[in-house]
Structure 1
Amino acid sequence: MSLTRLILIPALGSEPAPFLVIDAGGTVVDRGRMPLDAVERPSAMRTVAVVPGTDVLVRWLDLPPGGGAQVRTAALWALRDSLAAPADRLVLTLGPPVPAGEPRLVLVVSQALLAAWTDYLDALGVQADVMIPDMMTLPVPAADDAVTTVAFGPGLALRGQGLALSVQPDLLDLVRGDRRVVAIEDGREIERLLVAATLDPPVNLLSGLDRGGDRVGWRRAAALAAVLLLSPLILTLASAARDDLAAHRIAAGTQDLIRTRLPDMAAAADPVAEIDRRLAVAAPPGGVTAAAAALFTAVEGVEGAELDSFIADPETGVRATVTYPAYQDLATLKAALAAAGMRLEDTSTVEDGGHVVSEIIIGAPL
């Protein structure tokens, strides 16, 4: 009998993992919790891991036709203002091919987080064949004014038309906008959805792993994305170039192509440097909502601290003004953001009326 193991990776890596064993017909034949570092290894079988989706970026993008490398390059370029980490530290996964003219599903997760989930599964004694972010197991509501939600541990997964993310429950009203909430709370229905996703995975994060140099860095992505606007043939030639001379020609041509094809960078003396600048102020992993949640939590942890302003702008980054009692409190705020996988940098700190006021920027760790 063909069996598949479904594992729900918890938000805390110290916790055991809930699991189901499912037969080919979708019947659950076993369930329970898998302890960490068990003496006896679990039976070998196809394994699907549902991972926390909080730090997985999901978008639907208008992408050109082409091979995997070319389409991934175009996707990275399209997401350049949403990603703070270098491209070679990210894993970008493409959804199933779509008809020409329709947006394609794209998922991005940090390579380090994917490795951490793999290490967790190793501690359970298993290896995943498929990894699915939790929000991708939810059904898409038929109405465009609705959003489906399911609670997975401390997080809340959401799906809507053109929307898929996981957030802290108190951020639901912020991210859903005017959409009405269709909450799925029945355990049997949630299990049915998980079983369906296990037998027919909507996406597999592991399919985005580097296979022979398929992934490209930001500078290379800039070059290829600009050339892509001219000709798929030129893109193929650029992608194939490996020697230093070809790389030099690509780098030299990239700046002119970016200025020509990306008008918003036309005034930049060095377009590649402008890309680097924009990456430096890009929102941290998880986006603006994650940054806001982490900062609110950090400020609440310092007695007497207040958040005076919070601004997210593609040109200047995620910035805020905070007031706190003593200079050493800034180190406490930085440590709290660092624990959330983010960097807090103060651009201006002054004393005002017995309190300290800092202008800060929140980004990805350097």
Structure 2
Amino acid sequence: MKPTRLILIPGLGSEPAPFLVIADGGVRERGMLALDAVERPELMRTVAVAPGADVTIRWLDLPPGGPAQQRAAALWMLKDSLAAPADRLAVALGPVPAAGQPRLVAVVGLSLLQAWTDYLDALGVRADAIVPDALTVPEPEDDDRLNAVAFGPAMALRGRGFAASAQPDLVDLLAGSRRVTPIEDGDAVEQSLIDAALSPPVNLLSTQERVRGVSRRSWGLAAALGGLLLVSPLVLVAAAAARDDMSARADAGRARAEIARAAPDLADRPDPVEALRQRVRAAPPAGGAIAATAALFAAVEGVQGAELDLLIVDPAVGMKASVTHADYEDMQLISRAMRANGLQVTETGTLDDRGRIVSDITIGSVR
């Protein structure tokens, strides 16, 4: 068996990455990969484990169909839980389940996925697969239990049909009535990582180029295909055969039909899809603008060198801000701090201004 390299992507892009080299089911080598290393790592199959706090993981009852249709259906089912537009998301599917069983789905922002691949490039490696840390935790046998493994400052949780990563103070909230069982045995954690590297439960890279290639289709197409899939498997077959030939008028018609059902007052707008997006973006954040503003100030102050340049609170456009910071990873820290307060940060623009980075963001509730 050819060796496999397992890399743990750290929470901060300036930190080195722990790695294992797996051969014949055991660990042949372990160490740290540094960003400033002179020698480049040996070429081999590489699986990276990424922080899972910003990865949405669900088990969904998807209708029959090909991968493209099931990804579209998954996006449509999760539309209320995802703040970013469809063209900024990568959707990965787990193995095809047995008949009647839900399928594993993982969704991550393309910008974050690109940041991870850029980090790995800086280490001198190219990943064949990227797996969120929560999916490396062994699934418990009991429905009322969650297994937990610490990855840096975050806790990865795994239950029956459940996986998520969060800060330790949110574990009880996520667990609910389920009992949390920490896995602290280093050998057990290492073995679960080895198992995930040899057989990744999902690969976030599997649709990266596909998503980029269809960036113009956005939520309108996801709504159209998702709506068709939920209506009839027979219509699904027709949609799969004809999707590459669908005209812009047909896409717009389906999108209008979905919007007319969900928000009738927007159906007659010149661009109802964009009107619906604006409504979602302008929705008031949890706790109101004052609580959101306080959370944003605290999150920005918690990142060294970050400054809040602009803050706009307008019922028509929602809550927007501009933040100046030093590293691209800073926005991940701010986003995680806001998420801990029930708020979602979405980057709408990034500008490199003479060595400083200016990020435009919108702030809304975690949905």
TM over 0.5: yes
Residue aligning to 1:232: 236
- Summarize the Cα distance change of 1:205–1:184 in structure 2 as closer, same or farther, 3 Å threshold: same
Contact persistence 1:150–1:156 (CA under 8 A):
yes
CA distance in 2 between counterparts of 1:95 and 1:283 reads 34
Equivalent residue letter for 1:191: E
Residue aligning to 1:211: 210
- Summarize the Cα distance change of 1:11–1:250 in structure 2 as closer, same or farther, 3 Å threshold: closer
Q: Secondary structure at the match of 2:243?
A: helix
Q: Secondary structure at the match of 1:203?
A: coil
CA distance in 2 between counterparts of 1:106 and 1:23 reads 29
Contact persistence 1:83–1:283 (CA under 8 A):
no
CA distance in 2 between counterparts of 1:293 and 1:331 reads 11
Q: Secondary structure at the match of 1:143?
A: coil
Q: Secondary structure at the match of 2:347?
A: coil
Contact persistence 2:299–2:334 (CA under 8 A):
no
CA distance in 2 between counterparts of 1:335 and 1:177 reads 38
Q: TM-score, normalised by structure 1?
A: 0.75
Q: Please say if 1:365 is aligned against 2:364.
A: no
Tell me the CA shift for residue 88 of structure 1: 1.1
Tell me the CA shift for residue 221 of structure 1: 1.2
Give RMSD over aligned pairs. Answer: 3.6
Q: Secondary structure at the match of 2:119?
A: helix
Q: Secondary structure at the match of 1:58?
A: strand
1:241-296 deviations in whole A, cap 9, x for unaligned? 25xxx21133124323554xx5x445653563564245425799xx99xxx99975
Moved more, 38-47 or 92-101: 92-101
Q: Secondary structure at the match of 1:33?
A: strand
- Summarize the Cα distance change of 1:51–1:124 in structure 2 as closer, same or farther, 3 Å threshold: same
1:62-103 deviations in whole A, cap 9, x for unaligned? 111111111111111111111111111111001111233321
Give ranges in structure 2 of 5+ residues lacking alignment: 302-314, 349-367
Tell me the CA shift for residue 341 of structure 1: 5.2
Q: Secondary structure at the match of 1:6?
A: strand
Tell me the CA shift for residue 198 of structure 1: 1.1
Contact persistence 1:69–1:214 (CA under 8 A):
no
Q: Please say if 1:53 is aligned against 2:52.
A: yes
1:166-215 deviations in whole A, cap 9, x for unaligned? 11111111111111111001111111111111112111111122338467
1:29-54 deviations in whole A, cap 9, x for unaligned? 11111111311111111111111111
Among the aligned pairs, what percent are the same residue? 51
Residue aligning to 1:18: 18
Q: TM-score, normalised by structure 2?
A: 0.75
1:27-66 alignment to 2 at 5 Å? 27-66=26-65
Residue aligning to 1:269: 267
Moved more, 10-19 or 92-101: 92-101
Give ranges in structure 1 of 5+ residues lacking alignment: 303-315, 321-329, 345-359
1:18-167 alignment to 2 at 5 Å? 18-24=18-24, 26-167=25-166
Aligned residues: 315
Equivalent residue letter for 2:346: A
Q: Secondary structure at the match of 1:81?
A: helix
Equivalent residue letter for 1:104: R
CA distance in 1 between counterparts of 2:52 and 2:245 reads 36
